[in-house]
Amino acid sequence: MKQMIARIVYFGLLLFTFFPFVESSVALLLGIGYGLIFQNEFGEISKRYSKKLLNIAIIGLGLGLNLHEAVSVSKDGFFLTFISVLSVFTLGFVFYRLLKINKNTSLLITSGTAICGGSAIATISSVLQPKANQITIAMAVVFVLNAIALMVFPFIGHYFQLSQYQFGLWSAIAIHDTSSVVGAAKQYGEQALEVATTVKLSRTLWIFPLALLIGYFNKKENSSYKFPYFIIGFIATMLIATYFPQGEKVYHILQGISKQLMVVALFMIGSLINLQSIKQAGFKTLSYGILLWIFISILSLVLVLNYF
């Protein structure tokens, strides 16, 4: 009886995540809740198809990027992005050594913090091939910090009397996911929203070299490594959206479908977590994510206050 209930709940929640009003964080939490309450007998299916869905979703998300807009971002945004990415990965390596957490989890959290949150974690996980619980833990850390940033960043911005331009730069660098960047900047003002969106767009492009670099080093350690062809698909869809803008309406629909496929995949990934994996992650992993986020938030705020 319990097994039948578990199956009904699983497929019910899985179908629920296909609805467009269900967000990534909600799907992940539903998956984690299911994994903790029930023994997921669809573990192998969830593991296999979540990776396939992530790859398809990443390719589709390229339709929402315009290469010219991203490349033409202001030199201020590029400078801050370069400094932040370099600093986060350098400090991430130091904290990884000091805290002695899992290497894959460390890379996923660092990638999400340095570039664009859940999207970066999803992309890097397709290259790195980590365990499902490592992806879930990294996603959970990033989503929690995103929620906090969405609430507190506008207050901090007003406290330090940041201009809308300054706040746009700061939020685009210090907040993980694009949705949270947009949400925080929108509360601050229209100019802040425009600046934040543009800088965040350019920051997303760092996924390409990062995924290829991690894939290269992972190839040396993993004989089963497969080239991340989905990155080629991502670049192809971005170029299509850039040079054939007349299909914008269709691209928007396909991008929406891709985002929802990522939501579904996150539910599947979350459903694979259990109490044992949470205990394995421990306080050190959470501390790792928090320390990185606090560091980049303070560093980017100091740079914005003093140089922009």
Q: What is the DSSP string of 60-110?
A: HHGGG--HHHHHTS-HHHHHHHHHHHHHHHHHHHHHHHHHT--HHHHHHHH
- pLDDT at 228 > cutoff 80: no
Higher pLDDT, 88 or 135: 88
pLDDT band per the 50, 70, 90 thresholds, residue 279:
low
Percent of residues, the chain, with pLDDT higher than 70: 88
* Segment among 22-26, 190-194, 289-293 with least mean pLDDT: 22-26
How far apart are alpha carbons 15 and 84 in whole angstroms?
39
The pLDDT tens digits for 106-124 are: 999 999 898 878 778 877 8
Mean pLDDT within 5-22: 87
Higher pLDDT, 45 or 241: 241
Q: What are the two backbone dihedrals, phi and then psi, of residue 247, each rounded to the nearest 5 degrees? A: -95, 20
What pLDDT is recorded for position 223? 44
Instruction: Locate 205 and state its tokens.
Output: 């492009």
How far apart are alpha carbons 161 and 77 in whole angstroms?
20
What pLDDT is recorded for position 162? 93
232 Cβ contact partners less than 8 Å away, ≥ 6 residues apart = none
- pLDDT at 12 > cutoff 60: yes
Place of tokens 């080239």: 227
The pLDDT tens digits for 204-226 are: 778 878 888 877 776 655 544 45
What pLDDT is recorded for position 194? 76
What's the domain count of the chain? 1
Could you count the other beta carbons within 10 Å of the beta carbon of residue 52?
13
- pLDDT at 144 > cutoff 90: no
* One-letter amino acid for residue 158 of the chain: H
* Segment among 134-138, 226-230, 253-257, 304-308 with least mean pLDDT: 226-230
Percent of residues, the chain, with pLDDT higher than 90: 16
pLDDT, the chain, mean: 81
Q: Where are the alpha helices (DSSP H) in 160-228?
A: 164-174, 178-188, 190-204, 207-221
What pLDDT is recorded for position 280? 62
Instruction: Locate 82 and state its tokens.
Output: 């370069």
Contact 177, 199 (CB under 8 A): no
What pLDDT is recorded for position 80? 81
The pLDDT tens digits for 67-105 are: 776 665 556 677 788 888 899 999 999 999 898 888 888
Higher pLDDT, 278 or 82: 82
Higher pLDDT, 277 or 120: 120
Give which of 23, 91, 39 is closest to 299, Cα–Cα.
91
- Structural domain of 121: 1-307
- pLDDT at 297 > cutoff 80: yes
pTM above 0.85, yes or no: no
How far apart are alpha carbons 7 and 220 in whole angstroms?
40
For the ranges 62-76, 159-173, 251-265, the maximum mean pLDDT occurs at: 159-173
Mean pLDDT within 31-60: 78
Radius of gyration of the chain (CA): 19
